[in-house]
Amino acid sequence: MAASNLSTLSSSLSKPSSLPFNTSNTHTSFPHKTLQKPSFIHKSSFSHAASETQKTSFAVASKNPISEIVSSNKPYPEVYYDDDEKPREECGVVGIYGDPEASRLCYLALHALQHRGQEGAGIVAVNDGVLQSITGVGLVSDVFNETKLDQLPGNSAIGHVRYSTAGASMLKNVQPFVAGYRFGSVGVAHNGNLVNYITLRAKLEDNGSIFNTTSDTEVVLHLIATSKHRPFLLRIVDACEKLEGAYSIVFITEDKLVAVRDPFGFRPLVMGRRSNGAIVVASETCALDLIEATYEREVYPGEVLVADKNGLQSLCLMSHPQPKQCIFEHIYFALPNSVVFGRSVYESRRKFGEILATESPVDCDVVIAVPDSGVVAALGYAAKAGVPFQQGLIRSHYVGRTFIEPSQKIRDFGVKLKLSPVRAVLEGKRVVVVDDSIVRGTTSSKIVRLIKEAGAKEVHMRIASPPIIGSCYYGVDTPSAEELISNRMSVEEIRDFIGSDSLAFLPFDSLKRLLGNDSPNFCYACFSGKYPVEPRELKVKRIGDFVDDGLNGSLESIDGGWVQANRNQKEVKVASL
C-alpha cells in the first residue's frame, strides 16, 4: 500500500515523547489507552484461508489445559547448542491470540524455538487492556518459572528468544520490547536485521527521539509512534515502508495480534490454529507442533496478518519483488521436523546428502555425521552410497559457552568437550564425515584430527552446502568475509588446511536444480556475494571478538563491528566503532 494512499486514511499525530522500555526481568505494566479502531481492513487475496476465518470466534477456555506442564519442580527439555564457529540465527518469535493460557503456550513454543537463540528470552501478555512484560538473560527455562508465568495472565501474548552480537547491555536488548505512546501501548518481537538502521536512527534522533537500546527493533517502534497516520495498522504499514532488510515481526496491542513479514520474505514466519480457534504465529512449525496448533500456511512476504475479535484478516503491506528466502534455514538453522518455506527441512537435508554421495563419491567403510546438524544429510549420503551410517561422534548437550580449562594445555579442548569420538566405529576405517557447512575451518580441522587420533585410516569430509564466501546482513550472525575460509582459499587449499584426505562441497548448481521452480525464491548471498538488498550499513562479527554474558565488558568487546559496504566481498574492511 503506497504512502499516498495511507495519508487519505489517517489523521495527523503530534510528536510523542520518548518511549519507555522494559530493561529488566521484572514485569512492567502499561495503562490501557483506546486505539482508534481501523475501518479499512480488507480481505486478502493471498489465500482463501483468510476469508474463511473472518467469522472466527475465539473460545474462552482451552480444551487441553497445560498449566500443569509448566512447573518449577519438573525438568525442562534438553537445550540445543550451536557450534561456536557456525553461523547463528539471531532469534525466534511467537505470537498467540485467543487462548486463556497464552503465556504458557508462548513459553512452550519458545522452548521449541530455543535453537534459534539462547542468550535471552521474553514474553509480553495482555490482560484487561494492560501489556505486562517479563524478559531476562539466559535460556527460556532460566528466565521463566511458574511464579513468573502467573504474572502474565491474558488471552494473547508474544514471545522472543534471542541470540545477538550487539548491545553494550544485553538485558536492555532482550525482546519483546514494550512501549507506550499517544494512542496506546504496543509490544514487538523481531527476527531479522535492518540494513538501513543507522540512517533511520539518525533521522529519528535528529527529530528528537530518544533511544534506550542498541537494537534495530527499537527503530520500528519509534517509526510507529511518529507516524502521522491514526489507525494502528496504518502506522505499521507506514513504518515498514521505511524499512530495508529482513524482518519477520509480531506486534501485540490491547486488542490485536499483528504479524508482518518483509517483502522479500528473508526470514520464516508461519501461521497455525489450535483446536479452540486460537491463532498462533511462529518462526517455525516445530513451535506449532509442541502446542498442538495445526499448521495452515506461511505469513506471505509483504503481508500484514491481523488477529482480533473479528477473526483473522490480511492485507498486503506493499507490492513485493521476487521472494528471497534464506536457504540456510534448510541447511542449518531450522529443526529437521519443521516445514520452512513450504518444504520439509528433513527432506531437504536428506537430499543434500544424496547429492553429495552421487556427485562426490569415495570408497569408504562408514559414514558419520558432525552432530546434530549434519545427521540427516549423513543419513541421505549413507543410504545413497550403500554404506552403513554409524554414530562416530557423540555430542554433549550439557556444555555451555564458559568453562574452566586445565592449567596444562589440552589440544582441541573446546571441541573435545562437545564431541567425543567412538573408537569402535572409527578405528581402522575409511570414514566419510558429513557436516552442514565450513565457516572459518578451525573447528573442522580439529574434528578431522580428533577422528584420526581415534584410529581412522582415512577421513573424507563432505559438506552439505556450497562454500560460504559472503557475510549475511539479513538476521544471521556470520563472520566478516575476510574470515570465511572459502572466500580466501580453494577447495584443495581448505582440504590441506583441515587435514582431510578429501573434501567436497554441495555443488551450487546442484542445490538450485534440487529446488526446481522454487530456486529463484531463495537468497544465496552467502554463496554468491550477490545481495537482494544491497547492504550499506553492515554489522558483522569482527576478527577476534569474544562472546561474554552480555552484561560485562565494553561495547567494542562484544558488539559487531561496523563495516563499509562493498560489492566486492573480498575487499570488505572492518572499521572501528
Contact assessment for residue 19 and residue 225, using Cβ atoms and an 8 Å cutoff: yes
With 0-12 CB in 10 A as exposed, 13-18 as middle and 19+ as buried, what is 45?
Answer: exposed
With 0-12 CB in 10 A as exposed, 13-18 as middle and 19+ as buried, what is 287?
Answer: buried
Contacts of 476 (CB under 8 A, 6+ apart): 87, 88, 89, 90, 193, 326, 328, 333, 526
CA 456/CA 53 separation, integer angstroms: 59
Q: Could you tell me how far CA 74 lies from the centroid of its own chain?
A: 28
Give the 3-state secondary structure of residue 418. Answer: helix
Tell how many helices (H) and how many strands (E) occur in the chain: 21, 28
CA 139/CA 162 separation, integer angstroms: 9
- Backbone φ and ψ for 421, nearest 5 degrees, come out as -75, 150
- Backbone φ and ψ for 104, nearest 5 degrees, come out as -70, -40
Instruction: Please report, for residues 73, 263, 311, 500, the alpha-carbon distance to residue 484 in angstroms, rounded to integers and kept in the order given.
Output: 44, 29, 47, 18
Instruction: Please report, for residues 432, 476, 577, the alpha-carbon distance to residue 201 in angstroms, rounded to integers and kept in the order given.
Output: 49, 21, 16
Report the phi/psi class of residue 412: left, alpha or beta, with left for phi > 0 and alpha for psi in -120 to 50. Answer: left
Q: Catalytic site residue 316?
A: no
- Backbone φ and ψ for 154, nearest 5 degrees, come out as 130, 165
Residue identified by cell 546434530 is 372
| Three cell numbers, residue 318 | 506493499
Residue 286 DSSP class: H
Residue identified by cell 566486492 is 568
CA 196/CA 201 separation, integer angstroms: 9
Contact assessment for residue 534 and residue 568, using Cβ atoms and an 8 Å cutoff: no
Residue 116 DSSP class: G
CA 434/CA 531 separation, integer angstroms: 28
Give the 3-state secondary structure of residue 322. Answer: coil
Q: What is 171-202 written as a DSSP string? A: HHHPSPEEEEETTEEEEEEEEEEETTHHHHHH
Size of the chain, expressed as the number of residues it contains: 577
3-state helix, strand, coil in the chain (%, to 5): 30, 25, 45
With 0-12 CB in 10 A as exposed, 13-18 as middle and 19+ as buried, what is 499?
Answer: middle
- Residues marked as catalytic: 91
